[in-house]
Amino acid sequence: MKKIIILLIFLFSLNFIQAEEGEFQFGLGVGAYFPLNQYTDDKTVYIYTSYNIPVTLYFGITDNFDLGLYGSFTRITDSYTTGEYNGLSGREYFNYHHFNIGGRLRYNFLPGYPFFAPHVFVGIGDNIETYTKRQFFIDGNKLYSDFDKGSYTDGTLNFQFGVDFTSRIWWVFFLNLELVYNQQINETGFFELNFYIGIDGFLKTYGGR
């Protein structure tokens, strides 16, 4: 029995200490979306903190550099802007759907720890924003029935950078915590704080393995 336990510990240790070159990591998480500012039609959008559903996929091109794909989704109901329509002042309310997709380059800035890997990363991609169920209210809460603007979708180039901390908890499973700042070219900015659980595996033929 002791020999079996020692053998299992040895095999797990090999998994923990092997290099990240040729490694795939897939993570699915939950998190929070923190908008700093948001604009549509040159108007400020009032959006508050909401949930975030992120997904990542990384591939190790060297021991410390990874290429990755990232995506996230959030939905906020009853967002609004203030403005005018047909000469009337009021508030336009809508439901806000936000998709964030892109590519990343990630670097392990403190290598050598078998159970802990901190990374910094940069990314570029597209924020896809959809505005649905648009309504216009005047005099506080009076619905303006002649408001005829429909749903629309807009995409904007996005840059991001952040830091994450990854820890393998057992066998092929890992945990990851990341903080990301996103900046769009239309001056919209927001943070994401995400927590993942994921699995990893190695492409054995990569790099001569």
- How much is the pTM? 0.82
Domain assignments of the chain as residue spans, ordered by start: 2-203
Is 2-203 a domain of CATH 2.40.160.20? Answer: yes
Structure tokens at 136: 């216009």
**Calpha distance 50→33 (Å, rounded):** 5
Strand, coil or helix: 3: helix
Instruction: Measure Cα distances from 143 to 90, 136, 190 in Å.
Output: 10, 6, 31
What is the pLDDT, as a whole number, of residue 65? 95
Hey, what are 96's tokens? 């806000």
Handedness of CA 67, 161, 193, 44 (dihedral sign): negative
- Measure Cα distances from 24 to 175, 203, 206 in Å: 14, 7, 11
Q: What is the pLDDT of residue 74?
A: 96
- The whole-number pLDDT of residue 189 equals 92
Q: Dump the DSSP string for 34-66.
A: EEEE-EETTEE-B---EEEEEEEEEEESSSSEE
Q: How many CB atoms lie within 10 A of CB 10?
A: 9
In which element (H, E) is residue 177 found? strand 173-184
> pLDDT 10s digit of each residue in the chain, 209 long?
554 444 334 334 434 333 367 889 999 999 999 999 888 777 888 888 999 999 999 999 998 999 999 999 999 988 998 888 988 999 999 999 999 999 999 999 999 887 889 999 999 999 999 999 999 999 878 999 899 888 999 999 999 999 999 998 888 999 999 999 999 988 889 999 999 999 998 876 555 44
Q: What is the pLDDT of residue 204?
A: 63
Q: Which two tokens stand for residue 163?
A: 């830091």
pLDDT for the residue 117: 93
